[in-house]
Amino acid sequence: MTHVPETSTGEIVAGSSELALDDPITDLVESLKSLRDGEKTVVEIAACGPAAIGPLRRLLFGREPSGLYQPRCWAVDALAALKAFEVLIEFLELSRSVDDPVERTGEEAIVNRAARALIPIPGETVYQLLYGRALRKPLPGIIEALGEYRRSAAIPLLIDALGEDDCHLIAEAALRKVGRRAVPALIAAASQSIPDNFEESESGIRTRARALDLLIEESLPVPEQCWPRLKFLILHPDPRIVIRTCALGIRVEQQQGQVALIQTAIGLLVTADWLTRIDVEDFLFEHFDEGRPVIDTAITRLTFKGEPHDETEEVVLTTLRRVLKRASQELER
């Protein structure tokens, strides 16, 4: 990295190798601040070589209260193109408290960009840096870069990130890369005790549900002997958890247990929101062979019921008929 002599106020020392204010690099750095021209300037300024690192560093480290973060993101891109990774590491090592929410949003976007820029240079120093940043807050770029290391030690941080809406997809992808080594921790996250008052936080429910989603996938199979640890979730008050538990259990239960799980899933249609009802419908369709007798019985009972159906009964009947139609169409293909 090229070190530029500066005064304590950041002014360029006379006679330094830094370019004057009207020199091309300074003009290009100023162009990075243009939302219209900034992106195309990245290639031009990277072509200037190491002399551009100092000005780019100052742009990156400067604060922007307006929250306009794109120019500093382009500075990250230019520094990465110049392989000035030590500047990006230095930036991520910086512990800067930002109280204003607008400025903080911009700052986090730049942190994400810098973390992703370090993915091509794996190493212990970078790993420890990313790990420490993830402990502070699981930002998407940090989680993505950390996941590339596929280390068992990072699994708890990746699982914690499952509860965050802005980075759960990235955390899920990272846990898939870790593979079977993540299964015990995912089982632990899914099977943690339900609060005595049944008032689990929304973040806790999201983490539990997304851990179950991963355990349902064939790439991360749950050992049959672990099912008893998870079976109690059938009693969870949130339908999102219950339907995922049904999907997990139907793989290991015998016929009688499978029938009970199908009945539980149908029962969810009465109380679940529309999004979970879609999950229930998909579950019943995927396991139609196991559930057909139960589904046929429920359709018959509701169809020939004497009194008019209420709204929830109509929802159940409509959903079950749709499952039956999807299964019939599948057979005709």
For 261-313, how does the pLDDT look when each residue is reduced to its tens digit (9 = 90+)? 999 999 999 999 999 999 999 999 999 999 999 999 999 998 887 676 788 89
Between 59 and 37, where is the model more confident?
Answer: 59
For 161-212, how does the pLDDT look when each residue is reduced to its tens digit (9 = 90+)? 999 999 999 999 999 999 999 999 999 999 998 777 667 889 999 999 999 9
pLDDT for 219: 79
Between 165 and 38, where is the model more confident?
Answer: 165
pLDDT for 9: 33
pLDDT at 38 over 80: no
Tell me the C-alpha distance between 261 and 283, whole Å: 10
pLDDT at 240 over 50: yes
pLDDT for 20: 46
Question: CB 159: neighbour CB atoms within 10 A?
Answer: 23
Q: What is the percentage of the chain residues whose pLDDT exceeds 70?
A: 92
Closest CA to 39 of 122, 132, 113: 113
Dihedral angle, C-alpha 103, 109, 112, 118, nearest 10 °? -90
Kindly report which listed range (20-34, 117-131, 162-176, 260-274) carries the lowest average pLDDT score.
20-34
pLDDT for 308: 63
DSSP state of 182: G
